[in-house]
Amino acid sequence: MVYVVEMDVNIPESWNEEKVADYITREKACSQEHQQSGKWVYLWRVAGKYSNISVLDVEGPDELHRIVSSLPLFPYMTIKVTSICKHPNALKETMI
């Protein structure tokens, strides 16, 4: 199943620079691991915000939740998930 996932990150203002840097480093490693697995197909930054729009191709909602909730910043995110499928008018045969 293919999902579009919009993630808005809300880092607590009370965090010091070292804690923020630690979380960002761990977040990068975790997201890149999922990208290398082929499950996290696309990752785009939303200009002007600490947000991203991603496309994940996973077995189903349980796997999607496992991946997204494995992110270190998951507790500090507002997340919107949209399940998508191939449009009948699309020219390409493959979804991704």
Q: What is the pLDDT of residue 92?
A: 76
Quick one: tokens of 5?
């996932």
- The closest of 30, 43, 32 to 3, measured between CA atoms, is 43
- Is residue 90 included in any domain, yes or no? no
Instruction: Let me know if residue 89 belongs to a domain.
Output: no
Q: Each residue of 11-61: pLDDT tens digit? A: 999 999 999 999 999 999 999 999 999 999 999 999 999 999 999 999 999
18 occurs within a structural domain: yes
93 pLDDT band, cuts 50/70/90, is low
For residue 24, the domain's CATH number is 3.30.70.1060
| Domain ranges, residue 37 | 2-84
Say if residue 94's pLDDT is above 70. no
Rounded (to 5) percent helix, strand, coil in the chain:
35, 30, 35
pLDDT band, residue 95 (cuts 50/70/90) = low
The pLDDT of residue 96: 62
Total number of domains in the chain: 1
Element (H, E) at 63: helix 61-69
The pTM of the full predicted model, rounded to 2 decimals, is 0.89
**According to the model, what pLDDT value does residue 71 have?**
98
